[in-house]
Structure 1
Amino acid sequence: MKILHVEDVSEISQIFADILSTKNYDFDSVSDGRAGLELAVYKDYDLILLDMCMPKYSGVDFLLDLKHRRPSELSKVVIVSALEMNPTQEQELLNLGIRSVLRKPISVQGLLSQIEQEVVF
């Protein structure tokens, strides 16, 4: 499985990299949303793990640009964020076409279990 992880906090990126490595997933990890968008547009991923709160270029910016440039990839996006969202905001993201929303903090087992569920989606 090929996974893209877009997260601006290096410590969290490293934790995700460690987790994904234990399962031998093929993954790219970037700390800049624009760089992540370029990867999502030009490479094929099975899953895109996206943080919503990033400086200068937010997860919302990423989603809107991805919708414009390669809308088929929206269904591969799983939001992994500590951002407080009310049910209406979460539903708007789901209506945009993303796969699901996960809340940080998330356990290692919780993340792996969710990734495995997302693959069979």
Structure 2
Amino acid sequence: MDVFQHINHARMVTLLEEARIPWLFYDERPTASMRAGCLVADLHVKYQGQLRHDEGPIEVTMSVDKVRAVDFVVSYEVRARGADPASKPAVVASTQLVSFDIDTQRPRRMTAEEKDYLSSFIRND
């Protein structure tokens, strides 16, 4: 929490990561999740309202916006606990993630299963 009793920016980025990791990496389908590896290439966070520490736990809604050969974009909407899902989020964010081969330390093309897995999270609104 910062001096104004709002969630600190660095903590917000960590909260987004803590929501993203189990969502993308621990699916029961071992060939579908992104366990083979990926890295954050870009991050955008926009604050549209206040989030106070006493409004937690926060609720993070995630979706996939774009899936390409070696990267994809995850979008986030963050609201206070119990907020109407249709309400304006306090925070909107996105991360561009690049599929990565840990052994070679290079980007890699995603498998068809990985692309299908990610595409299942694209929102249709």
| TM-score normalised to structure 2 length | 0.24
More strand by share: 2
More helix by share: 1
Higher RCO (Cα < 8 Å, 6 or more apart): 2
| TM-score normalised to structure 1 length | 0.24
Answer with 1 or 2: which has the greater Rg.
2
